[in-house]
Structure 1
Amino acid sequence: MVLLILALASCQSNPEVTQVPTAPAPQPKLATGSALPADTATPQRASEMKQSVALTSNALQLVAQPSGSTTEIPLGMPQEELVALLNKVLAQKVASVGINSECGVGPLKMATWGNGLTVAFQQKKAGNWLFAGWSVGAPAGTSPKPTTMAGVGIGSTRAELESAYVIKRMKTSLGQEFSTADGLYGILDGPGPEARITSMWSGVSCVFR
């Protein structure tokens, strides 16, 4: 009888409780997509192993070579930490850092690299600038262009885009815009299947329509 009571008690589900933090939440940690150690995606570690940057919805990813295992760089990472990390992985210094005060969401600090990647940061009440989104455009030099894990990036055709993602297309003041359900956005240079992607973004952006 005692065993039966204990078994019934253990099967009862506890109600879900939403906790409201009373203190500043800890900075987000990089989420690994494989059995890699949790400290893989740090500036020091990035210099010790070959990695590349991949685009994904509302985040960036580090891709280890040659294994292909991924480590997510989530939104919310502090500016200094993320810029140092990307400098190491991309093997180039950030080309420019500046604040755009005319964005609809408020001022954004933009860090841009020569491969066309721009990372946007929003300032929080504590004064910290935190990773809020990314965008890509044409690279300034011959650096490899960042793409998604499916190989979609600047210069990919609409046909290649649609072979990898289910997209919604619309004509806007920006041109032929596209979007995916999970938050990937971009612009094509035309309506046909051979039209090419000219820009992409995800997360908080500074797009004027």
Structure 2
Amino acid sequence: MRWWIMGAAMAVAACSQDPQPAATNTAEEVEQPAPIASPTPEALTAIPTRFVGSWDSDAASCRAVAPGEQRLAIAADTLTIAGTDYPARSITAAEAGAVDVDVVADRSGITAQRRYRLALAEGGALDLTGVDGNARRVRCDAPAGAEAAARNAVALNLAPDGIQTVAGASSRQIGFGTPAEIVLRVAEAAMQALPERSRNADCGEGPLDIASYSRIRLYFQDGRFVGWAARGRGLTTMAGVGIGSKRADVEAVIDAPVEDTSLGREFSSGGLSGLYDAKDSVSELWAGSVCLAR
């Protein structure tokens, strides 16, 4: 009440005096910039395949003939907890590779919406966070999970101008210049893992952001996909060229002249480049901008 009385008194006093010049704003009065709005969570069409399958409290529970109350089965659009199906109403990406799944729960005629967070923990375990707190589950070798993962499997191929994905009978070309978030989402589905992130600020073409998986490094600049480098065996081009390929096999499918450079015996073909080791096997393979020190 005193504040309102003082305010009224000040207003009366102001009316009885000559107009005064406006006071200069102090540091505390300077209008602060509006906070930056948080980005809208990315909506997903399905629960990522790295979570799909059956999970339980421990290995012994996984082997039990009859699933117990701790059993969790995850499909592309449904969580099954202790034998009860909870259809996903929405699926959104969260930080550090986790996903939030909003489900519709119907118990005794009462419908309620719940949110569960799925996150992979150390050793491939699953952290499930929901209305009952946090629970850790281990993966079971349940056929339903293996079959679901196989149906949703995404294969990755290397290309001179980017990467190519193959899922079932369909394929998709992801060229250099594609936004980083799209490339990382595809690589995550194919690798079934999250990358190690780093940055190389000493590249001649400018700083590059790097996402390293077990079999490939992906390079980005200003939020765009600009290059890749194979790591070890496992990924090849559509023609079968990859780490470990013999020179004779490479030259049978592509025209790849060899030149002695500061890197070694280097070959290139239409944007695809690599090195041969002393046994004439491909030891390095890359395309695009990968920050080579020549």
Amino acid at match of 1:100: N
* Whole-angstrom CA distance in 1 between matches of 2:174 and 2:45: 12
Deviation by residue 1:56-105 (Cα, 9 ceiling, x = unmatched): 1111000123x3x42101222222232122111221221x1111011111
* Moved segments of 4+, more than 3 Å: 42-48
Quick check: 1:105 aligned with 2:205? yes
* Whole-angstrom CA distance in 2 between matches of 1:58 and 1:84: 18
Deviation by residue 1:180-205 (Cα, 9 ceiling, x = unmatched): 1x210001103xxx511111111112
User: Which of 172, 175, 193 is the aligned partner of 2:261?
Assistant: 172
* Whole-angstrom CA distance in 2 between matches of 1:50 and 1:122: 28
Distance 1:84 1:198, change over 3 A: same
State the identity %: 33
Higher alpha-carbon deviation: 42-51 or 150-159: 42-51
1:183 match: 271
1:12 match: none
Distance 1:56 1:43, change over 3 A: farther
Deviation by residue 1:134-187 (Cα, 9 ceiling, x = unmatched): 111326xxxxx111011110011101111110011100111100001x210001
* Whole-angstrom CA distance in 1 between matches of 2:45 and 2:289: 24
Q: Which has the higher strand share?
A: 2
Quick check: 1:81 aligned with 2:182? yes
Would the aligned equivalents of 1:189 and 1:197 in 2 still touch at CA under 8 Å? yes
Would the aligned equivalents of 1:122 and 1:131 in 2 still touch at CA under 8 Å? yes
For structure 1, the residue ranges without an aligned partner over 5 or more in a row are 1-41, 124-128, 140-144
Distance 1:186 1:43, change over 3 A: farther
Deviation by residue 1:90-128 (Cα, 9 ceiling, x = unmatched): 21221x11110111111000111012x0110011xxxxx
User: Which of 148, 156, 164 is the aligned partner of 1:53?
Assistant: 156
* Whole-angstrom CA distance in 2 between matches of 1:106 and 1:177: 24
Would the aligned equivalents of 1:137 and 1:198 in 2 still touch at CA under 8 Å? no
* Whole-angstrom CA distance in 2 between matches of 1:184 and 1:208: 17
Work out which of the two has the higher radius of gyration on C-alpha atoms and give 1 or 2.
2
Distance 1:202 1:45, change over 3 A: farther
* Whole-angstrom CA distance in 1 between matches of 2:217 and 2:241: 17
Amino acid at match of 1:161: V
- Aligned residue pair count: 150
* Whole-angstrom CA distance in 2 between matches of 1:79 and 1:198: 27
RMSD after superposition: 2.0
Distance 1:130 1:114, change over 3 A: same
Distance 1:162 1:122, change over 3 A: same
1:122 match: 221
* Whole-angstrom CA distance in 2 between matches of 1:168 and 1:119: 25
1:208 match: 293
* Whole-angstrom CA distance in 1 between matches of 2:235 and 2:226: 18
* Whole-angstrom CA distance in 2 between matches of 1:165 and 1:102: 33
SS of residue paired to 2:152: coil
For structure 2, the residue ranges without an aligned partner over 5 or more in a row are 1-43, 50-150
